[in-house]
Structure 1
Amino acid sequence: MNASLHSQLICFLENDLGIPANEIAMALRHQDCGTQLPLILWQYGFVTLEQLDQIFSWLTRA
């Protein structure tokens, strides 16, 4: 994911889904090369399955 898309994703997570910045930061710290940020957010319980679906839908449109 390029830097611009990554920034847009962070804005979407914070502004549209209301995910707190500290939860996103924690997920980013625990992200490894093979795991996508949306899955980390879901694994930690920061997003619901419905929100996870919204994130993946947003990513396919981006």
Structure 2
Amino acid sequence: MNPPYERLVQFLRDELRLSPSSIDLALRHSEQDLGPMPMVLWRYGLVTLEQLERIYDWLDSPGLPKVG
């Protein structure tokens, strides 16, 4: 896992309280080029639209590396 994803995974665990299995599923599918990890989480119903917005707000925060 690359460093930007490590920070995203930490945010998903700590702030959104996502389960490790949900995060693993999203990582696997995003690596298979099925889309950005946040969209994979939403597409599979693992986050709500509100949580998806929080993820993208967090990703847009200054100082964070961009994650696809």
What interval of TM-score do these two structures reach, taking the shorter chain for normalisation?
0.7 to 0.9
1:12-23 matched pairs, under 5 angstroms: 12-23=11-22
- Flag the structure with higher helix content: 1
For 1:33 and 1:54, the matched residues in 2 are separated by: 22
| Runs of 5+ unmatched residues, structure 2 | none
1:2-13 matched pairs, under 5 angstroms: 3-13=2-12
| Runs of 5+ unmatched residues, structure 1 | none
Moved over 2 A (4+): none
Contact 2:34-2:40 at 8 Å conserved across structures = no
Cα RMSD for the two superposed structures: 1.6
Secondary structure at the aligned position of 2:60 is classed as: helix
Q: TM-score, normalised by structure 1?
A: 0.88
For 2:34 and 2:24, the matched residues in 1 are separated by: 18
1:36-55 matched pairs, under 5 angstroms: 36-55=36-55
For 1:25 and 1:33, the matched residues in 2 are separated by: 15
For 1:57 and 1:37, the matched residues in 2 are separated by: 14
Amino acid at match of 1:16: E
Aligned residues: 61
Which segment drifts farther, 48-57 or 21-30? 21-30
